[in-house]
Amino acid sequence: MEKQKSKWNKIIRGIIISFCALIVIYVGITMYFTNHFYLGSTISCVNVSGKTVEEVNEQMPAEVEEYTLELEERENVKEQIRGSDIGLEYNSDGKVKELKDKQNPFGWIIALFDKNDSKVSEVVTYDEELLQTCLDKLSCFDSSNIIEPQNSKFQYTDEGYVILDEVSGNKINKEILYDKVIDAILKGEKTINLEASNCYENPQYTSNSQEVIDTKDMLNKYINSEITYTFGDKTEVLNGATINNWIETNEDLEITFDEKKIKSYIDKLSSTYDTVGKTRDFITSLGTTIKISGGDYGWSISKNDEVKELIEIIKEGQTINKEPIYMQAALAHGNNDIGNTYVEINMAKQHLWFYKNGSLVVQGDVVTGNVNNNCSTPIGIYKLKYKQKDATLKGDNYSTQVSFWMPFNGGIGIHDAIWRYEFGGNIYRTNGSHGCVNAPYELANKIFDNIEGGIPIICYY
């Protein structure tokens, strides 16, 4: 029993001795930190653990004098900004002492885990103009070294559009770098990784951006369009091989159409298939073949309307057969767009024929424009504009009432002329009309009853 009691006494004495030793150590260390900085204390990233304010003030000027900030750039390029180049000087302005005063000597144990009262920065000053000059001289701001960032682009191939990788480049945002450099200098940091610090100007869109992928899909939708234009028995096929040349994308990934190029395509169709004013071979009622041009009859594509409709068709990715939008249509396609319904006026013979669906409806002599007065009826193929009963024809020195009025060229038309007692022959040379085609009442009546607007009127000598 006494042995056990003696054992416990020894344990208790050991604990007391250990505790007292710890107190002595704690008090001793506390006394040390009365004038010395906590362990882990830093002044602008310089370790000042266990040093006095005076020692720190002696150490820091040398640290500042040797200070160099290294810039880590892309492609393993490194550049330096030296403290001596920017007028860097140590100037604590009482901040070092202020830090020490905040460090309660009794709290040195807590400081091992909490570093809030163990750091201070901004104990240096620099020359702003020298710093700006130093930055301006960096090779990364030399225009000959700068590669501009570029968004992902699109390339047309036989398989459709593909995405080209973006160009990261190496252009630096000068304002961001300037702020990062100042922050590093004031904190005493020795390196800045420009990539990690987001100092580079990067492309807005990369090959993995959903917007880029969506745009590529839209472009492919457009070039998958196939439009087959029909011109009677002839066709023109428009597909992606041509359409891709009309499509552009801007930096904001907006898809636009080059309407000038589209209009150029429509102009070619118009040049090939429009027939207004073109020279045609025409077999006359007398069996001869003549060449005739001029007039306003024929096919004429409405170019602006067709451009607009074509863009909408492409945007919808359609595959269709269509005729272009016509400003004016003829009765037939092909070499003979006149068809087999027309009025033929041989002004040399002063005779008129009217055919409908290939059958002769009526024919007869007429009187055309007065040659001696320079009022000849113009040559060409025209379309009948409309027909009107009981019209009054007015000119500079006349006003005439007619029963059947069928204009085809401005104020020139076919009409009855009851004031004439004979037609044909050479009357037109000296006693012709002001340009109209004068017809006997019965002839004009028969034509009027069977003709409709748009039918070609063929005038030739």
**Mean of the per-residue pLDDT values of the chain:** 88
What is the average pLDDT across 159-185? 93
Residues 191 and 241 in one domain: no
| Single-letter residue type at 268 | K
Within 8 A by CB and 6+ apart from 450, the residues are 354, 356, 361, 362
Asked if residue 375 is part of any domain, the answer here is: yes
Share of the chain above pLDDT 70, in %: 82
Residues 307 and 260 in one domain: yes
Residues 271 and 375 in one domain: no
Structurally, how many domains does the chain consist of? Answer: 4
* Per-residue tokens: 342: 């027309």
pLDDT tens figures, 336-353: 899 999 999 999 999 999
Q: Provide long-range contacts, Cβ within 8 A and 24+ apart, for 388-392.
A: 389/448, 391/415
Which of 199, 415, 434, 459 is catalytic? The answer is: 415
- Quote the pLDDT of residue 395: 79
CATH number of the domain residue 391 falls in:
2.40.440.10
Residues 186 and 254 in one domain: no
Domain holding 6, by residue range, is 1-32
Residues 25 and 43 in one domain: no
Confidence category of residue 87, pLDDT binned at 50, 70, 90 = confident
Asked if residue 158 is part of any domain, the answer here is: no
Residues 263 and 383 in one domain: no
| Single-letter residue type at 10 | K
What is the average pLDDT across 203-222? 96
- Are 218 and 163 spatial neighbours (Cβ–Cβ below 8 Å)? no
**Residue 436 a catalytic site member:** yes
Residues 187 and 230 in one domain: no
What is the average pLDDT across 196-218? 95
CATH number of the domain residue 242 falls in:
3.10.20.800
- Are 147 and 160 spatial neighbours (Cβ–Cβ below 8 Å)? no
Confidence category of residue 52, pLDDT binned at 50, 70, 90 = confident
Predicted structure pTM score: 0.75
Number of neighbours of residue 99 by Cβ within 10 angstroms: 23
Asked if residue 284 is part of any domain, the answer here is: no
Residues 225 and 263 in one domain: yes
> b or e along 200-213 (b: 16 or more beta carbons within 10 Å of the residue's beta carbon)?
bbebbbebebeebe
Asked if residue 160 is part of any domain, the answer here is: no
Residues 125 and 77 in one domain: yes
Q: With 90 as the cut, is the pLDDT of residue 109 above it? A: no
Which of 134, 140, 199, 436 is catalytic? The answer is: 436
Residues 320 and 445 in one domain: no
What is the average pLDDT across 2-12? 63
Asked if residue 333 is part of any domain, the answer here is: no
Report CA dihedral (87, 91, 96, 99) to the nearest 10 degrees.
-80
Q: With 60 as the cut, is the pLDDT of residue 33 above it? A: no
Asked if residue 177 is part of any domain, the answer here is: yes
Distance from C-alpha of 83 to C-alpha of 18, rounded to nearest angstrom: 51
**Residue 134 a catalytic site member:** no
Q: Which of 39, 56, 42 is closest to 111 using CA atoms?
A: 39
Asked if residue 285 is part of any domain, the answer here is: no
Asked if residue 424 is part of any domain, the answer here is: yes
Q: With 80 as the cut, is the pLDDT of residue 16 above it? A: no
- Quote the pLDDT of residue 386: 97
- Quote the pLDDT of residue 381: 98
The β-bridge relationship of strands 280-283 and 289-292 is antiparallel
- Quote the pLDDT of residue 70: 93
Residues 19 and 37 in one domain: no
